Amino acid sequence: MKFPRNAKILHSPFEVAPFAAVFFLLVMMLMLGALLPVPGLPIQLPGAAGLPGADQPTVAVAVDASGRYYFANQVVSEGQLENDLRVAAKKSREPLTLVIYADRAVTYDQLIHLTLLATNAGIYNAVGATLPRGLGNPVEP
């Protein structure tokens, strides 16, 4: 049985305007999305290559350029940081290693003070976090 053919083939020119409008809206959304703030802490880590990592469980502390301490995604005071590090050291079955995410502007005195806080809390190993060479400005030997 042959069915009647009612479908008509479209023979009109290709319209570019709707595609251009969609492309324009897509570009505008991407540009506006780039202006949104990115969550996180703006820290400029130094670059280095070939440094050993930590082979023990770690706990991370960040120090920004103004000297504020960040632990567990929150700004903490020195006393609260020492207490939090002490609690983390007691919970861990193995010795912890402190990973310090310090901005380039942080002074050596602040780093020593942070490692002393960790030592008082029971964490005796500390390492500094760096970017791999090629990302950021590398540290010249």
Contact call for residues 67 and 100 (beta carbons, < 8 A): no
Fold of 47-132: Nucleotidyltransferase; domain 5 (3.30.420)
Helix (H) or strand (E) holding 87: helix 78-91
Contact between 106 and 67 (Cβ < 8 Å): yes
**Percent share of the chain, pLDDT over 70:** 86
- pLDDT tens digit sequence for 41-66: 777 777 777 777 777 888 999 999 88
Longest dimension (CA), the chain: 93
Q: Take residue 33 and report the two structure tokens written for it.
A: 């999305």
Is beta strand 131-132 parallel, antiparallel or unpaired with respect to 47-48?
A: parallel
pLDDT for the residue numbered 139: 45
The residue among 123, 107, 105 whose CA lies nearest residue 61 is 123
68 pLDDT more than 50: yes
Of 125, 130, 83, 79, residue with least CA distance to 102: 130
Name the residue ranges covered by the structural domains of the chain. 47-132
